Amino acid sequence: MGLKSPEGPCVEPHPLCCEDVGIRSPRRGRNLSGRSDVASDTSSPPMTGRLLALVCLSVPLAAAQPTAPFPETSTNALLAEWTGPYGGVPAFDRMRVSDVEPAVEAGIAEHLAELDAIARNPAPATFDNTIVAMERAGQSLGRVFTYYGIWSSNLSTAEFRAVQQRLAPRLAAYQSAITQNADLFARVRTVYENRASLRSDQQRLTTLVYDGFARNGAALTGATAERYAAIQARLAELHTAFANRVLADEEGPVTYLTADQLDGLPASFVAGAAAEARGRAGAWAVTNTRSSVDPFLTFSTERDLREQVWRTFVSRGANGDENDTYALIAEILQLRDERVGLLGYPDYATWRLEDRMAQTPDRAMELMEAVWPAAVARVREEVADMQAVADAEGAGITIEPWDYRFYAEKVRAARYDLDSDEVRQYLQLDNLREAMFYVAGELFGFDFREITDGSVPVFHEDVRVWEVTRRGSGNHVGLWYLDPFARPGKRSGAWATSYRGHETYDGLQTVLASNNSNFVKPAPGQPVLVSLDDAETFFHEFGHALHSLSSNVAYPTLNGGVRDYTEFQSQLLERWLFTEPVVERFLRHAVTGEPMPDALIERIRRASTFNQGFATTEYLASALIDLKLHTLDDYTDLDPAAFERETLAALAMPSELVMRHRTSQFSHAFSGEGYSAGYYGYLWADVLTSDAAEAFAEAPGGYYDRDVAARLVEHLFAPRNAVDPAEAYRAFRGRDAGIAPLMRDRGFPVPGE
């Protein structure tokens, strides 16, 4: 347990982008005593409507001539309107990679033509004929990007990655053609300057669209505009190349174990690691992904192998070979700095944070620096405890990074009598899913019914689908897709995404939400038992899905989110995992069926802040490097590896651990722009999370208090991005959040107390 951060963007990034749909949070302690006591990014370019809600644009992209449409698209399944039940569903059973390029080209041509017609409209610009018309445009391309996202994250292949690389500059050119459409921007500006008479949600929508243009080069002209477009095109190529190189370094290396090298590993890990399917009978595979590496480092008694596995994992993107990412990173940083300089900003982070809750890099840095000393001090205590255990065993070692998880587990077991494998026996994946449904019913009034008649196509046999309805009325809310298991071609980590968002401006459109995980698929008939960390992650990602399903916004763009706010809702949902009703009904032993005993829950509660030094420090190290990399004065001859090394030394980073995401593999920062200069956002959102959790803890009904739950849904889930996040939180809590609950959650000293 403790502070955790996502392995990759948990709000699923898109070919252009970063919509508010999912990321794993850095995590803290939580209240385990039960009920009685206890985000599209607004700085994205001006893509509106379904495309902004689905695509969320990680980079402002720029102007080149679109290529000629492919000759035949009338039979292309990726462009076709969605048919079938529930307002139409994606035709996942008809996807072909060969259709991607012609579909994207046709969708681009259609969308640009629609926007050009809006720009050339002779009637005076109004909200309806400009902003709403832009919301309505681009539907075909939005559908294509849904399939694109599946191939990118769930079903990636060498064939698709080649397509991805070819399309990157074309998508950049397309986005720049929008951004630099002067006539279109002039109409948007007219509506923006006369927005006072609009409804509050319409004013916010207009502001988001205007900012999407103004902050992304719409006012540039001549050679400056051309340079901006060229930068955007090159960044699109670099982001895609970075993502593909990191994925290659995850898919390639495998450490194979023999039968005499399995000591200490849980039976569930051994079963899932069997390498027969890899053509290695009698061997077991540790793959180069966190879901495989972390449990191996935690339980394996083979210290030399732990070091080998650890070094392979932390060296992703940093091996001086064809998958090395350092040159890409240096160029990305230089180009980002040049681009925002064209807009008049002193550095990239200032541009990026301008319309986020933090507002300035200084405010984000102030929060991180307030927590860093306490986190590092706790690491030193944790290392001393681990070294004492190693010395008592006569291990004859000094704690190194590949020892941290292994000896932390020994300290946990000794201090709290808490065995991670014992806890795992009560965390069955199917039961956890039903627990999430229970919480969604109690707090949000949702019911879930699995669809098993084949009426909703899926893209893999492991994917399952549920209909979500409103409790009491039975009204249809949306669908929830679950893709739970790891497989080749699926990116690591866990994330959420939406295939369709809620809207009402052209009639009711319901939500298609999904969660994606990387649990090891069990043998037929065997339960999936997961770690406490993975159980929290499962709840976290479901929080993103509930955020989508709760939406009551009228316009597609308002389904987006502000990046340092959008993790708040998902982080908060983790708090319900150990509430009394969930424990009693769903946390039951895999063999006996008995609920988790009170004594074990108490041991978990007492250990809730255990290892917070490690968890907080590894996260903050990445967040600090991210922000510092994006506030440099000069990027000439930048060596990212040296910068990382020197900055961590200046921060007095403990040598016994490394960054959660080393620079060479930092996909949040360099596979797009959704989280660049924004990884601090998990901590920022967690300030809200800890404070909101105390609102429930103080309520008469605890975590199931109906009045607090109603305020939560009304102010913090349903409005999505139709309300400024700071205003929304004050409406829920009656005040701004402070840092004290966050520090208490982690067991750190509270400043001033």
Please pick, among 105, 135, 302, 541, the residue that the annotation labels catalytic: 541
Tell me the two tokens of residue 184. Answer: 């279109």
How far, CA to CA in Å, does 39 sit from each of 545, 589, 678? 11, 35, 12
CB 356 within 8 A of CB 367: no
Q: What is the C-alpha to C-alpha distance for residues 317 and 120, in angstroms, rounded to an integer?
A: 47
Q: What is the C-alpha to C-alpha distance for residues 698 and 705, in angstroms, rounded to an integer?
A: 10
Q: How many CA atoms lie within 13 A of 274 on its CB side?
A: 11
Instruction: Tell me, yes or no, if 393 is annotated catalytic.
Output: no
CB 657 within 8 A of CB 622: no
Angle at 372 between CA 646 and CA 369, to 5 degrees: 85
Q: What is the C-alpha to C-alpha distance for residues 630 and 244, in angstroms, rounded to an integer?
A: 22
- Smallest CA-to-CA distance from 462 within 510, 426, 429, 424 is with 429
Residue located via tokens 């999370």:
689
Residue 33 identity: S
Query: Per-residue DSSP letters for 640-675?
Result: HHHHHHHHHHHTT--TT---SS-GGG-HHHHSSSSS
How far, CA to CA in Å, does 461 sit from each of 68, 179, 389, 414, 500? 37, 40, 46, 43, 21
The residues, any chain, with a CB within 8 Å of residue 521's CB and separated by 6 or more, are 272, 462, 485, 486, 487, 528
Query: Per-residue DSSP letters for 208-249?
Result: HHHHHHHTTTTT--HHHHHHHHHHHHHHHHHHHHHHHHHHHH
Residue 488 CB neighbours (<10 A): 11
Q: How many CA atoms lie within 13 A of 118 on its CB side?
A: 29
Residue 415 CB neighbours (<10 A): 14
- Smallest CA-to-CA distance from 215 within 199, 201, 228, 200 is with 228
Collapsed DSSP state (helix, strand, coil) of residue 125: coil
Tell me the two tokens of residue 275. Answer: 């390498």
Q: What is the C-alpha to C-alpha distance for residues 178 and 450, in angstroms, rounded to an integer?
A: 41
Catalytic residues, which ones? 541
